[in-house]
Structure 1
Amino acid sequence: MGFLKIDHVTKSFGALTVLHETNIAVEEGEFLVLVGPSGCGKSTLLSMIAGLEPTTSGDISINGRSMNGVRPADRNIAMVFQSYALYPNMNVGENISFGLEMHGVPKAERDKAIDQVADLLQIRHLLKRKPGQLSGGQRQRVAMGRALVRDPDVFLFDEPLSNLDAKLRVDMRTEIKKLHQKLGTTIVYVTHDQIEALTLSTRIAVMFGGHVQQLGTPKEIYDNPANMFVAGFMGSPSMNLFPAKIVVQDGTAAAEFALADGGKAHLPFPGDAMTAHDGRDIILGVRPEAVTDELGADRSSNAVHTINARVEVTEPAGSDLFVVTQLGGKEVTARFRADVEAKPGDTFPFAVNMEKAVAFDPETEERIG
């Protein structure tokens, strides 16, 4: 049934529908990330869970209780905002305990809760400081501490790391993940950063145009994208997508596509995959790590096939060398080992693991098979 149930929820502003019928069931202790580009509806959905926005239709329930008409203060949720929203005239300890004080919690209980949260987030040395004396990362810890003392049914995070620099974002991601593992709390987390989504979540809802495009585990979303939007949005670098045609010979289906020199290449699908689609035009999707140099290919796979293609650009990236070539008239990024000698203009063998390849319909953009 789900601890947090979003049941046929829609949201419209006048004639504009920004969230179409949405159904998500979040189990107790789960970490659900809502991810997608700006304007996809993820923050609107979070606001409706929080009670900051009413639903146009449908129902949201927490622990079996419908939230329709329930004030935000009565929902037993805690929210961590992008902007921290700390009171500048209060010190850290006062900021953390303010909500408890407003709910009439006795001072002894408030002090105990502050102590526990301060130790958990390692901010005890900051308790007497004002927000203006803190770094961005420290302010975010305080904002998290203020949510944690509430002991809510559900934590809601609205892009909490977007104001931090790149290194601090990575550090805070790790802290949030450790916190979830330690406490086992139910979290709904909004971000536009797909790496954040893949790193933190137990499940991801990929959103676009007010629709949930796919709901699944990080592995399901990454390895088996439901459509071309999910394939292109999730992953860095994103999945390579290029046109091909399915050709079946001797009972084996292969993806046939053009090379930059005018020739054609064939990459067989494993087993009997795609044999029912002879002659069909497709968009072939392959992750960069599934296109590599021959020695870097997955030796446990029986579906690695080599094609010779021209190197267009090389991009050294420390532990990897990204190599750009052209397949099917589109740029394709391959992930080589860092010490591979591949130079622009060279014709080079690219090893493609077709166990990791997926096919999409060019018209509907949905996955085939």
Structure 2
Amino acid sequence: MGFLDIRNVTKAYGNVQVLHEVDIEVEEGEFLVLVGPSGCGKSTLLNMIAGLESITSGDIAIRGRPMNGVHPSKRNIAMVFQSYALYPNMTVAQNITFGLEMHGVPKSERDKALAEVAKLLQIDHLLARKPGQLSGGQRQRVAMGRALVRNPDVFLFDEPLSNLDAKLRVDMRTEIKKLHQKLKTTIVYVTHDQIEAMTLSTRIAVMFKGYVQQLGTPKEIYDQPANLFVATFMGSPAMNILPATVVTENGAAHAEITDAEGAPRRLRFSQQAMAQWAGRKVLLGIRPEAITDPEGADRKSGNIQQLRNRVTVTEPAGSDTFVTMTLSGKDVIARMRADANVVPAQVFDFAINMDKAVAFDPETEARILA
């Protein structure tokens, strides 16, 4: 049993089911991120943990205590909303301590908790201001302070950074991670941003169409995606997906694809068990960073395959250069070093790390476990 247990939870509005038998155990001190596109059910699940939405079937428990039917105020959770939800007529100090005051906490204890949280979040100098006098990042810190001051069992974050500009999002992401590492709190965090999910979490639940597609660590999700949706949703740029046919050559399994000229080319799989798929179609998945120039290839890999192909587009991006080529009729992106000497229309020797390649069943879209 976990610290927060979500057992076979479903949610339906009339005949429309929006969550399907969600089953997640969250251990104490974990940072679980629910990630997926809009409408996948992640915010609905968060609201059910908070008690803002009823459970159609299944159970939610915190510290072994069933939460079904328990009022939100009795769950000992704290929620940080996308909109911050601050009272505009109250000062920062009043916003942070208002919940404590409503629960009858003595003023001396409120003042002590306020001082500790304000110092932790570095907002001591803002306590006398009102929300209208604060920047977006400052308002976000106040909303976090209001949650922290209560010392709840579980913190719930509902896309808290989506209203911030790009640079401030990165800064606040770092602050939230540092805060979690310092306080060891249990957090469930909702976002549609897969970079936030990868950088913040100890575990990720990737959601789509009301189902948890995969639950695992960021590394598991990234390196061993359970299906085609997870593979293409997680990662930027997205994983390259190529139609291929499995063929055997000298007893080894290869993915047969075509180059920019339409000529057949073969890439040897690292997994010998792929030979079981000989003669069948698969979808070959290769991350952009697994395709580079020979000098930039991973020296620890035991299966670097060279492929000569024509370059279509190059995109310098500061620390990296993204190079596009055509394979099996699809645009394929390679991620190379900033100083890689590659130009459009050039015929170039690409190095492909097949140790990092995965394959999917084109019918079920599930990863082939080989």
The residue aligned with 1:321 is 321
Aligned counterparts of 1:331 and 1:140: Cα–Cα separation in 2? 40
The residue aligned with 1:265 is 265
Partners of 2:93 and 2:127 within 8 A in 1? yes
Question: Matches of residues 111-122 of structure 1 in structure 2 within 5 Å?
Answer: 111-122=111-122
Note the C-alpha offset of 1:300. Answer: 1.1
The residue aligned with 1:194 is 194
Matched letter for residue 63 of structure 1: R
Matched letter for residue 170 of structure 2: V
The reply to whether residue 67 of structure 1 matches residue 67 of structure 2 is yes
The residue aligned with 1:349 is 349
Aligned counterparts of 2:29 and 2:113: Cα–Cα separation in 1? 21
Note the C-alpha offset of 1:341. Answer: 2.0
Note the C-alpha offset of 1:279. Answer: 1.1
The residue aligned with 2:154 is 154
Question: Matches of residues 71-110 of structure 1 in structure 2 within 5 Å?
Answer: 71-110=71-110
Aligned counterparts of 2:196 and 2:252: Cα–Cα separation in 1? 39
The reply to whether residue 310 of structure 1 matches residue 302 of structure 2 is no
The residue aligned with 2:138 is 138
The residue aligned with 1:214 is 214
The reply to whether residue 242 of structure 1 matches residue 259 of structure 2 is no
CA offsets, 1:230-263, max 9 Å, x none?
Answer: 0000000010001001111222111110112021
Aligned counterparts of 2:139 and 2:66: Cα–Cα separation in 1? 33
Secondary structure at 2:272 match in 1: coil
Question: Matches of residues 278-317 of structure 1 in structure 2 within 5 Å?
Answer: 278-317=278-317
The residue aligned with 1:365 is 365
Secondary structure at 2:119 match in 1: helix
Note the C-alpha offset of 1:339. Answer: 1.4
The reply to whether residue 175 of structure 1 matches residue 175 of structure 2 is yes
CA offsets, 1:2-37, max 9 Å, x none?
Answer: 110000000000111010111000000000000000
The residue aligned with 2:330 is 330
Matched letter for residue 110 of structure 2: R
Aligned counterparts of 2:56 and 2:253: Cα–Cα separation in 1? 48
Secondary structure at 1:362 match in 2: coil
Secondary structure at 1:312 match in 2: strand
Aligned counterparts of 1:58 and 1:262: Cα–Cα separation in 2? 53
Of residues 255-264 and 165-174 in structure 1, the stretch that sits farther from structure 2 once superposed is 255-264
Unmatched runs of 5 consecutive residues or more in structure 2: none
Structure 1 runs of 4+ aligned residues shifted over 2 Å read none
Aligned counterparts of 1:69 and 1:335: Cα–Cα separation in 2? 50
- Aligned positions, number: 369
Partners of 2:290 and 2:352 within 8 A in 1? yes
User: CA RMSD, aligned part only?
Assistant: 0.7
Aligned counterparts of 1:193 and 1:70: Cα–Cα separation in 2? 31
Note the C-alpha offset of 1:78. Answer: 0.1
TM-score calculated relative to the size of structure 1: 0.99
The reply to whether residue 24 of structure 1 matches residue 27 of structure 2 is no
Note the C-alpha offset of 1:222. Answer: 0.3
The residue aligned with 2:276 is 276
CA offsets, 1:137-161, max 9 Å, x none?
Answer: 0000000000001100000000000
Aligned counterparts of 2:277 and 2:263: Cα–Cα separation in 1? 23
Identity %: 72
Aligned counterparts of 1:242 and 1:175: Cα–Cα separation in 2? 39
Partners of 2:262 and 2:328 within 8 A in 1? no
CA offsets, 1:72-103, max 9 Å, x none?
Answer: 00000000000000001110000000000000
Note the C-alpha offset of 1:178. Answer: 0.3
Aligned counterparts of 2:35 and 2:271: Cα–Cα separation in 1? 34
